[in-house]
Structure 1
């Protein structure tokens, strides 16, 4: 029995080398885990610092960047636009006057343009980083331009005026200058015959820095003429309440008598700072909300000729 027990019993001994190897493996595993942990923490810290540094650098670059096009780029754009094959384009001088006004903005300009013309893309480009809005009488053409050039913001408006009615319309404004046709008001709620009250609501809240009247059509008696566009520009300029009290208003085709007469009535000769054969440049100040007169000097009712 004893012999069987002694024969069946086996003593299992672990060699010291095996014990040493297991302990060493654990140490190496612990060291590896520690190394990876430290590496992860270092990477995380470095990445966060790198992101912060990069963000600060980009912010500094953006803050230092000039939001406007350089003068040389503006001149190049105007040069090529004025030398296009389109016979209806503006002259270089007229384009440059508008470009100079846009460059006077201390921040990106709000530019309102009545009329979609061959220069529309030029105005959008010159008003770099600013907001440029176009108003046109032809809804189909406005939709076509927006589809072809998605960066263009254009709206259509229905004019209820006729060129042949200029005299009567101006007289009607004078009769209502203390009520519906005030020089300072929100035209959205106006029933003035020359006020455009069907523009998108948000456009009446924009502080326009530059307004260009280059539409609608006005070359025959039944055409809508630019009386409503000029009157609306005059009211928008005088009604602004932002930090910049002045608005540049340009009237193209200033050689047309209707445009000159309407400009005299609502933009006013005392505000005319520069003119060429085809362009009138006015600078208007905002007015007190109680103002009941567009100009310091009044004019007699115009003749009905154009």
Structure 2
């Protein structure tokens, strides 16, 4: 009876070949995963080494550039300055400065402690020359023609130029000078903050930072004064004088040059 019962309870279990294949498939997936992981690790390791090498190379290049920059902080060689003056003074432009006019300004810029702050009233044929001579310094130009100033700045992005609206007229020269003499102790003081000035000859609508800079050299070569209603240079000369006297830091002196000082207005 036991035997029969055992036989009746016996179950036949057949292992389908698919189960064996499935086990092999799992092993293949595991092997593929390990392979991918190994490849990813190797790629990461190689990339890290290349990144380290690139960083080292970049640091070396930066050091080299820094070294070159340090060298470029020196002033222009005398031969370069003399060459620039030579060709500028022989330009075909009828409004150019002569060599004797260029040389004193160049000499002062050359002796100016770096970085030298140079303010120029007027965009002229010498604009690029002034920028070049004040090597590694700060050169700012002021001009009365906003359209020409914008055009010039677009043509030469390295030039820093601002436009200003003059309220003076050359024909009012005598009245303006008399007004300044009367107000010399009040609105037209030689030392003052021009940003808040009410003096008729004081320019108070320049960018704020222009009044905050201690200018080492100022050149008045504008605006134009060729006709009675032209602005004339009285306001530029007065403003340059106040900026020079109101200097608080930087080099001890401010050198002010006025071009065409013998002409009226």
TM-score of the superposed pair, with normalisation by structure 2: 0.75
> Match of 2:210?
203
> Match of 1:151?
158
The structure that has the greater radius of gyration is: 2
1:104 and 2:73 are equivalent in the alignment: no
> Match of 1:138?
145
Looking at structure 2, the residues matched to 249 and 117 of structure 1 have their Cα atoms a distance apart, in angstroms, of: 17
> Match of 1:72?
79
TM-score of the superposed pair, with normalisation by structure 1: 0.66
Question: What's the secondary structure of 2:140's corresponding residue?
Answer: strand
- Preserved CA contact (<8 Å) 1:68 1:108: no
Q: Which runs of 5+ in 1 are unaligned?
A: 1-39, 259-306
- Preserved CA contact (<8 Å) 1:163 1:223: yes
Deviation at 1:213, TM superposition (A): 0.4
Looking at structure 2, the residues matched to 147 and 54 of structure 1 have their Cα atoms a distance apart, in angstroms, of: 32
The structure with the greater share of residues assigned to helix is 2
Looking at structure 1, the residues matched to 68 and 230 of structure 2 have their Cα atoms a distance apart, in angstroms, of: 50
Question: What's the secondary structure of 2:198's corresponding residue?
Answer: coil
Matches within 5 A, 1:32-71: 59-71=66-78
Looking at structure 1, the residues matched to 157 and 60 of structure 2 have their Cα atoms a distance apart, in angstroms, of: 35
Q: Deviations over 1:51-81 (max 9, x none)?
A: 7776566545543544321111111111111
> Match of 2:251?
244
Aligned residue pairs: how many?
227
- Preserved CA contact (<8 Å) 2:214 2:250: no
> Match of 1:221?
228
Q: Deviations over 1:205-257 (max 9, x none)?
A: 01111111001111332221100000000000011111312011110012214
Task: Spell out structure 1 runs of 4+ moving beyond 6 A.
Answer: 40-54
> Match of 1:269?
none
> Match of 1:27?
none
Looking at structure 1, the residues matched to 104 and 225 of structure 2 have their Cα atoms a distance apart, in angstroms, of: 23
Looking at structure 1, the residues matched to 77 and 196 of structure 2 have their Cα atoms a distance apart, in angstroms, of: 40
Deviation at 1:198, TM superposition (A): 0.5
- Preserved CA contact (<8 Å) 1:207 1:241: yes
Change (3 A) 1:179 1:57: same
Looking at structure 1, the residues matched to 49 and 160 of structure 2 have their Cα atoms a distance apart, in angstroms, of: 50
Question: What's the secondary structure of 1:154's corresponding residue?
Answer: strand
Q: Which runs of 5+ in 2 are unaligned?
A: 1-46
> Match of 1:165?
172
Deviating more after overlay: 66-75 vs 100-109: 66-75
Residue 190 (structure 1) aligned to one of 176, 197, 221: 197
Deviation at 1:189, TM superposition (A): 0.7
